[in-house]
Amino acid sequence: MREYFNSYRFWKWKILIVFSIFYTTTYLGRFNFWPMAPLIRDDLNLTLVQIGLLNASILWGFCIGDVIHGALSEKYGFRTWILIGAILTVVCNIIVSFSSGFMAFLIPWFVCGFVNAACWAPGVGMVSQWWSQKDRGFALGVVSAASGFAMLVMWFGTGLVGTTWGWRTSFRYPPILIGIFAVLVLMFTKDFPQNAGFTPCVKDQYRSIRNLKEKYILLITSRDFHLVGHIKGLENVVRYGLMTWIPLYYYDKGGFDISSTLIVTVMLPIGYAFAPPLAGFISDKFLLSDRKPLTFISCVVSAMVLFGICLVDPSQTKIGVILMLIGGISLGMSQIPVMAVDFFGKDMAATTSSLVDAHGYLYAGIQAVAVSVIVGLLDNWIMVFVLMGLFRVLSAIVLLFVRTVSR
């Protein structure tokens, strides 16, 4: 038994599980605004455009954080960077909980996005050091599933606390869990196999590049990096667009109260939580680590769901639940995060994943403002979902031009 606990297999699973458990808490301090948006809007007398700007602020803050946190964590340590980001996320949330107006909420919320970004790419980088390309789809699928479960934890945790004791309480206490679990990451994981006494056995075909400038130049001059980045951006328009606006859509147009709204919309993160590991396993074992087929299917099916939302009366609860579940599953099938790491290998995993993710949050922030204008000025929800569906179709087309990487 002692031999197993000291084995490489045990350690790589421990790294994956500990980081994934930690990541399920991070949305308690990043996206807790979403389920509480109706209550915050009423309390602070916000317009839909102001809600859109608040959503954009944390997304753009995360985008800017993504640009630097991945590369810096490769230089200064994955675990250390995660802990710093987690603690500062808790501080920002507590500051936001005392806000009395739009600007008092906006500024610390933007900073919160910036520091919270330190919790993602460094973790992807750490996991990638321990898992080889032939198993990377499954491993990063588990990490992506953690983000889906993070939505569930946030939806239930923030929703329960917020509807019981008010939205301010939901920003003060649940985010503390992020800091607690970040300490556990520091205690029970190691950045590299050699830090735990192992000889590095995860080998990629890419040479190690230590200079930050060289890393950025390599990525910026890569055609595949830009294509994958823009696909990720368009994907996040839909993913975070739905997470942001679906609660308000059913709350306003479906005539639901806040509890009923959460019950319907929670199916979206449920679907997203279970799809990534399965998709990663399929691509690893049956598609020779080719990530394109399932990503293409993800684009097509999610587009059909979005067009379906346009045709269904929002008061139809059962159909809404089914659409949200299928939408979550289809979005979770995307292999874009794994594809990005496959292109440049484990030595640049944090940098690559962070810069691709930065595309996603840049686009997501733009949609937050754009949708708030479309809905706030035109009151046209159908246009929103049609545009999202067309973006998924465009993603499928762009994907055809991406180079295939397989074993």
The topology (CATH level 3) of 2-186+210-399 is Growth Hormone; Chain: A; (1.20.1250)
Q: What is the pLDDT of residues 172-222, one digit of tens each?
A: 999 999 999 999 999 999 999 999 888 765 555 555 556 778 888 888 889
258 pLDDT tier (thresholds 50, 70, 90)? low
405 pLDDT tier (thresholds 50, 70, 90)? low
Share of the chain above pLDDT 70, in %: 95
**Alpha-carbon span 36 to 57, nearest angstrom:** 16
Helix 336-344 / helix 121-130 crossing angle, nearest 10 deg: 60
**Alpha-carbon span 45 to 50, nearest angstrom:** 10
243 pLDDT tier (thresholds 50, 70, 90)? confident
- List of E strands, 137-198: none
Q: Is the pLDDT of residue 157 over 80?
A: yes
Mean pLDDT, range 291-312, rounded to an integer = 94
Place of tokens 């939408």: 327
Q: Is the pLDDT of residue 337 over 90?
A: no
Mean pLDDT, range 296-300, rounded to an integer = 96
In this predicted structure, what is the pLDDT of residue 180? 97
Q: Is the pLDDT of residue 406 over 70?
A: no
H/E element, 95: helix 78-96
The set of residues, in sequence order, having a beta carbon less than 8 Å from that of 342 and lying 6+ positions away, is 133, 136, 289, 291, 405
pTM to 2 decimal places = 0.87
Q: Domain residue spans in the chain?
A: 2-186+210-399
Mean pLDDT, range 111-115, rounded to an integer = 97
**Alpha-carbon span 35 to 53, nearest angstrom:** 16
Q: What is the pLDDT of residues 339-381, one digit of tens each?
A: 888 888 888 888 898 999 999 999 988 998 888 888 878 888 9
**Alpha-carbon span 263 to 266, nearest angstrom:** 6
What is the chain's mean pLDDT, rounded? Answer: 89
Choose among 113, 16, 154: nearest CA to 358: 113
Q: What is the pLDDT of residues 130-155, one digit of tens each?
A: 998 788 889 999 999 998 899 889 98
CA 171 to chain centre: 19
